[in-house]
Amino acid sequence: MAHSLYCSIPKKPISSIVISSPHIIFNSVHKFVPPVTPSLFPCRYCTWSSVSSSVAETDEHYRQSPRLVAKEYADLNLADKFTEDVGNLRIRQHVNPLRRALMIPAEAPNWKEVFGDATLPLMVDIGSDLRKEIAGSGRFLMWLAKRNSSSMNYLGLEIRPKLVTRAEYWVNELGLKNVHFISTNAMVSFQRLVSTYPGPLMLVSILCPDPHFKKKHHKRRVVQKPLVDSIVNNLAHGGQVFIQSDVLDVALDMRDYFDAVPDKLVHVDSVDPSLPCDGDGWVLNNPMGIRTEREIHAEFEGCKIYRRVYKKVQH
């Protein structure tokens, strides 16, 4: 099974890129990465400062960013499927995942009811939505599911129930049988959910997780040792972990956790020389063939995305 088939394509505008047919895990397309300003918090978007909507709405720059997202996800044709009930959600900036009410693990569903074929390889995306008050969040997994409808199942774990309701609505509208969202705190539910899945766990992604900047709030960050251990233990041999953030401090934090299990996880550049990394070992291009919504916004603002891709090995 091909797990990471990457190739380089010349830099060109996003609008002119044709997505190639997907591979089991990653699409073999690298997208144009705009020039970036390397710094801890290089731009307004990357600072995660709460830009007031009045500022954002008067700024053409900010208006263009959602349009770019819509363009990148045009294939899903979700604009037609927008409804007032599920489209526009007003949601608080950050959830505290350590709240008692959020510490109850989710029950595993009957996977045969959830997926058309529950034996297919599984990708789990942790924190799969985005709290923007725009229609269209959660589309990353839907896009992948549509592309790989007979070869892979996709599970999104998202702590905000309203976002999951909206994502599930769209999944039904699209008629996809290989993608499912569960409203839960991944920190407490990941193990129970994936350990009951009948097929192999082949890919786990944690993309632009909430940064929880204050040091005293770092324990709220989703990547903690128990989750990392659970990912590593449940991943099939050859399975991969894809992490990224536009916040260097968050990316370094995640990297430290995943680098800490070198007997089980190797960074892909050591086993796949075709994967281009920068001098600090950050994967240069998104290997999925589609960027997440936050990634699109952040790159539009000129932020660097710090990525790592690990592969499970047997020593």
Binding residues for ligand SAM, per CB under 6 A? Answer: 95, 97, 126-131, 157-160, 163, 185-187, 207-210, 222, 292-295
Nearest-10 Cα torsion for 207, 134, 156, 51: 40
- Distance between first and last Cα of the chain: 19
Please state, in angstroms and rounded to a whole number, the distance separating the CA atoms of residues 251 and 237.
24
Q: From the candidates 129, 210, 246, 253, which is the catalytic residue?
A: 210
Between helix 139-147 and helix 161-174 the angle, nearest 10°, is 30
Closest separation in Å from C-beta 307 to ligand SAM: 12
Closest separation in Å from C-beta 293 to ligand SAM: 4
Nearer CB in complex with ligand SAM: 222/275: 222
Q: Contact, 95 vs 157, CB < 8 A?
A: no
Residue 161, amino acid: P
Q: Residue 41 pairs with which residues in a beta bridge?
A: none
CA proximity to 124, closest of 190, 49, 75, 171: 190
Closest separation in Å from C-beta 150 to ligand SAM: 25
Residue 4 carries which DSSP code? -
Q: Is 117 a known active-site residue?
A: no
Tokens 């989710």 identify what position? 106
Residues, the chain: 315
CA proximity to 290, closest of 40, 29, 6: 29
CA proximity to 23, closest of 170, 115, 123: 123
Nearer CB in complex with ligand SAM: 51/95: 95
Reduced to 3 states (helix: H, G, I; strand: E, B; else coil), residue 240 is strand
Closest separation in Å from C-beta 130 to ligand SAM: 4
Closest separation in Å from C-beta 227 to ligand SAM: 9
If phi over 0 gives left and psi between -120 and 50 gives alpha, with beta otherwise, what is residue 90? beta
Catalytic residue positions, numbered? 210
